[in-house]
């Protein structure tokens, strides 16, 4: 696929636990190794390793499991329908819905911000988990569109009142939430953290060319969050995972920085010296056909690898929850995995592609409507710009 499509490099590496080669995108064998996925039975669980560390107020334990105990979501007030977009570009509700499955999307308006959506989603997760803000040890903000150049994780931490927490941002586009979720479980397993908020949120409406019907029909704004909590290894809800990235596919989906052409002080030969060019980001540019081909090939492979790590098959999962990019992609992946449509979670029609928010947003709706029940096994996958993609097999509560 790599050479034929020019999307994914055949040398792309994945994070794996055992030496195997099911994921060579060009059909070649590949061996890589990293990451322990489950605490050993018995072992060192609960053993204090370092009570004199910089986090001495809390003993450090290793070998702990992780479980999802709460979720929340938030969307902007303004709803933009396909009919609304038909007033801006040459399109129609039928044209958009047939090709994408999308009917509506939410877009920031007024004083709304990504940080505000993220804080609201995180509060919902805390309330469901019956955890106070002061009990949170870490806030991971997964976004490619922060309110501030330097990220907004710390601002979300502040707004929530998580005064005992550390916070940072992760940028991995539509794979961001999956990366953040896996990162949270590693902090619990080896760092002694007990309660971690993972927030996925994006406001891609800021970077959409609303005159380009190829992209403006796709994206919406939202935030979703989960509370990941430490538990014993026998309760571990992170059953397996798989991660990839390949910068060779960046040209297929991007929003590159662009220079502001201003007046510059030049030397005698005309070369500009000062001041440096101001930069801003261009609108989202996407080769839809190539991204579709990448997703329907790589995502099923990634999920199968994560299932293998978990010792499960596709028939063992209760729900398939993919990044909500396009209904055709969701349907194609489900078909390749032989997962029936009644086991597929999708809310794409109401919100569009909300990037890092899409998985936790759909999960929150499925939990609160009673679709997802305690003990259910969920296969989830994110994929998008970078290119990045990855999968997690997880158990709800």
Contact 357, 217 (CB under 8 A): no
Average of pLDDT values for 335-342?
Answer: 97
Average pLDDT over residues 234-241: 96
**Which CATH number is 388's domain given?**
3.40.47.10
163-193: pLDDT as tens digits: 999 999 999 999 999 999 999 999 999 888 9
Is the confidence at residue 330, as pLDDT, over 80? yes
Asked whether the predicted pLDDT for residue 33 surpasses 90, the reply is no
Q: With contact defined as beta carbons under 8 Å apart, do 230 and 66 qualify? A: yes
Residue 167 falls inside a structural domain? yes
Q: How far apart are the first and last CA of the chain?
A: 38
Query: pLDDT category, 57, cuts 50, 70, 90?
Result: low
Taking the C-alpha atoms of residue 317 and residue 332, their distance in angstroms, rounded to an integer, is 17
Q: Does residue 24 lie within any of the structural domains?
A: no
Considering the domain boundaries, does residue 254 fall inside one?
A: no
Structure confidence at residue 39 (pLDDT): 40
Q: What percentage of the chain exceeds 90 in pLDDT?
A: 75
CA distance 227 to 132: 11
- DSSP E strands in the chain: the ranges are 14-15, 65-74, 78-81, 104-107, 138-142, 166-170, 195-203, 221-231, 238-245, 253-254, 257-260, 265-266, 272-274, 278-281, 285-286, 319-322, 377-384, 388-395
Catalytic, 353? Answer: yes
Do the beta carbons of residue 308 and residue 22 sit within 8 Å? yes
pLDDT of residue 191: 86
The answer on pLDDT for 48 being more than 80 is no
> Residue 236, CB half-sphere, CA atoms under 13 Å: how many?
24
Domain that holds residue 146: 64-247+286-396
How would you class 102 by CB atoms within 10 Å of its CB: exposed for 0-12, middle for 13-18, buried for 19 or more?
buried
What does the buried/exposed string (b/e) look like for 50-80 if buried means 16 or more CB atoms within 10 Å of the residue's CB? eeeeeeeeeebbbbbbbbbbbbbbbbbeeeb
Domain contains 255: no
Query: Quick count: other Cβ atoms within 10 Å of Cβ 315?
Result: 11
Q: Is residue 38 part of a domain?
A: no
| Global confidence as pTM | 0.84
Is residue 22 pLDDT above 90, yes or no?
Answer: no
Structural domain contains residue 46: no
The model's pLDDT over 247-290, given as tens digits with 9 standing for 90+, comes to 999 999 989 888 765 555 556 666 666 677 777 888 999 998 99
Per-residue model confidence as pLDDT tens digits over 81-140? 999 999 999 999 999 999 999 999 999 999 999 999 999 999 999 999 999 999 999 999
Q: What is the pLDDT of residue 258?
A: 81
**pLDDT of 278:** 76
The pLDDT of residue 56: 42
Average pLDDT rounded to a whole number, residues 220-242:
97
In the set 14, 142, 174, 216, the catalytic residue is 174
Confidence of residue 356 (pLDDT cuts 50, 70, 90): very high
Q: What is the pLDDT of residue 248?
A: 94
Residue 58, pLDDT > 60, answer no
Task: Indicate if 174 belongs to the active site.
Answer: yes
Tokens for 101? 């499955």
The domain total for the chain is 1
The active-site residue, picked from 162, 323, 347, 350, is: 323
The average confidence (pLDDT) of the chain is: 86
Supply the pLDDT for residue 303.
Answer: 98
For residue 31, being part of any structural domain is answered with: no
Residue 20 lies in a domain: no
């Amino acid at each position: 696929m790599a050479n034929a499509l020019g999307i994914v490099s055949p040398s792309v590496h994945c994070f794996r636990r055992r030496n195997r080669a099911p994921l060579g995108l060009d059909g070649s064998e590949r061996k890589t190794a990293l990451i322990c996925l489950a605490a050993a039975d018995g072992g060192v669980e609960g053993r204090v390793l370092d009570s004199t560390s910089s986090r001495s107020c809390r003993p450090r334990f290793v070998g702990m499991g992780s479980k999802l105990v709460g979720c929340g979501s938030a969307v902007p007030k303004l709803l933009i329908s396909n009919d609304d977009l038909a007033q801006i570009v040459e399109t129609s509700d039928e044209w958009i819905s047939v090709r994408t499955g999308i009917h509506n999307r939410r877009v920031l308006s007024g004083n709304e911000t990504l940080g505000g959506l993220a804080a609201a989603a995180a509060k919902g997760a805390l309330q469901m988990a019956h955890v106070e803000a002061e009990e949170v040890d870490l806030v991971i903000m997964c976004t490619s569109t922060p309110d501030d150049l330097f990220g907004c994780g710390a601002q979300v931490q502040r707004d929530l009142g998580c005064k005992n927490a550390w916070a940072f941002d992760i940028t991995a586009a539509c794979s961001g939430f999956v990366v953040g979720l896996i990162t949270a479980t590693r902090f619990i397993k080896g760092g002694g953290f007990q309660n971690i908020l993972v927030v996925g949120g994006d406001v891609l409406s800021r970077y959409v060319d609303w005159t380009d019907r190829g992209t403006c029909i796709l994206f919406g704004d939202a935030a979703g969050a989960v509370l990941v909590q430490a538990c014993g290894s026998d309760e571990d809800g992170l059953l397996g995972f798989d991660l990839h990235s390949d910068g060779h596919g960046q040209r297929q989906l991007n929003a590159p920085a662009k220079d502001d052409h201003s007046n510059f002080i030049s030397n005698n030969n005309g070369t500009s010296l000062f001041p440096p060019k101001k930069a801003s980001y261009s609108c989202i540019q996407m080769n839809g056909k190539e991204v579709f081909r990448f997703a329907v090939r790589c995502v099923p492979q990634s999920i199968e690898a994560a299932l293998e790590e978990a010792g499960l098959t596709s028939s063992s999962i209760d729900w398939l929850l993919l990044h909500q990019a396009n209904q055709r992609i969701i349907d194609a992946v489900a078909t390749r995995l032989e997962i029936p449509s009644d086991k597929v979670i999708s809310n794409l029609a109401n919100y569009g592609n909300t990037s890092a928010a899409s998985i936790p947003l759909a999960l929150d709706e499925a939990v609160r409507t009673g679709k997802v029940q305690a003990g259910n096994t969920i296969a989830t996958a994110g994929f998008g710009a970078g290119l990045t993609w990855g999968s997690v097999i997880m158990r709800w509560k």
